[in-house]
Amino acid sequence: MAVGATDRQIRVWQREQKMTRVWRGVYHLGGRLLPWEELRLSAIAAAQRSSDATVLSHEAAAAVHGMGTLNSDWRTVDFTADGVRGGTKRGRRRLHVRRLDAEDVVVVDGVTVTSIARTALDLALAGDFVAAVCALDAALRLGVSREELEAAIGRLGRRRGIANLLAALAEASPLSESVGESRSRALMLKWPEIPRPELQREFFNEAGALEARVDFLWAERVVGEFDGKGKQGKGFTSEQRIQRDSLLMGRKLYPTHWDWDDCEEPDRLRNKLRDALEPFDLLLDGSSRYRS
């Protein structure tokens, strides 16, 4: 408005993808960004127009922190206010009323958000076991200690979903380098015939240089690799993948690959893992799993 634009001109700019609306009265230049980047901008804009009594939380806080989480709703901006219980949802804004201690609130990019530890716990409590593992892995990956998570749990009070949270915390690991790896591992943990893999195993050549680091390794024989957009973004081409697989096979390691589509249809991933592990007699029965 300050430069003479009209409502009609703003609508035209949006249609032409010269501007994108992220919140009422707030836009960024250009077309839509990646979903988590859009959510981060929406969250900051919404926080700047909200009362001081609320803080960004859940997926919105995760986006501001740069936490990779398992999220299917990139439009809703969550807030939390200190209180006993309750909450409302109006449009894209959702308010949770929960106990909120000072230790669970930080300032990032000029807005108040729940801490990384508290954000991970909120997401774990709101989701299933797989989502909880993804959220807790992300917190550990960003440098939050297990002791900090346990202290934050102690401040929660009585909350529904605490048993699921504690089960996921027992399995959480900072070694999963992406949401896709966390999701894959959490799914594996639900399948009794799939043994627990070793994570991020490194292999070096005779000169001591790193040749490969694999996402998952079973019994020094089977390698598992989650091929997400992160690897593509780092320039990991199909040719490089073939060369790397050849290197691993030269070490008598046998790689199997999967991606987001396989995680979206877990039976596909389960069958891929079974097919990879069965020739080496690595599948477990239910009674032997926890001795492995």
Least confident of 51-65, 171-185, 220-234: 220-234
Give the mean model confidence (pLDDT) for residues 24-53. Answer: 91
- pLDDT in the model for residue 240: 82
pLDDT digits (tens, 9 = 90+) for 136-164: 999 999 999 999 999 999 999 888 889 99
Measured between alpha carbons, how far is residue 41 from residues 92, 105, 106 in Å? 13, 19, 18
Whether pLDDT at 291 is above 80? no
- Contact yes or no for 188/197 (Cβ under 8 A): yes
> Is the pLDDT score of 36 beyond 80?
yes
Distance of CA 9 to the CA centre of its chain: 38
Residue 290 has pLDDT above 80, yes or no: no
pLDDT tens sequence across 103-126:
999 999 999 999 999 999 999 999
DSSP state of 284: P
The model's pTM: 0.88
Q: What is the mean pLDDT of residues 197-211?
A: 91
Beta-carbon count within 10 A of 29 CB: 9
Mean pLDDT, range 39-46, rounded to an integer: 95
Q: Side by side, which strands form the sheet with 222-226? A: 198-204, 210-218, 222-226, 254-258
Among 31-40, 188-197, 236-245, the minimum mean pLDDT is found in 236-245
Q: Dihedral, CA atoms, 27, 29, 31, 37, nearest 10 degrees?
A: -70
- Residues 6+ away with beta carbon under 8 Å from 54: 79, 80, 81, 95
pLDDT of 37? 93
pLDDT score of 289 more than 60: no
Q: Structure tokens of 189?
A: 């943990």
- Inter-CA distances, 66 with 149, 155, 249, 267, Å: 18, 24, 36, 30
Beta-ladder partners of 199:
216
Type of residue at 270: R
Task: Say how many CA atoms lie within 13 Å of 35 toward its Cβ.
Answer: 12
Predicted pLDDT at 99: 93
CA distance 74 to 43: 10
Query: What is Dmax (Cα atoms) for the chain?
Result: 72
Percent of the chain with pLDDT over 90: 71
Please report the pLDDT score of residue 234 as a whole number: 57
pLDDT computed for residue 72 by the predictor: 79
Q: Give the residue carrying structure tokens 């010269």.
A: 18
Residue 63: per-residue pLDDT: 96
| Average pLDDT, rounded, for the chain | 91
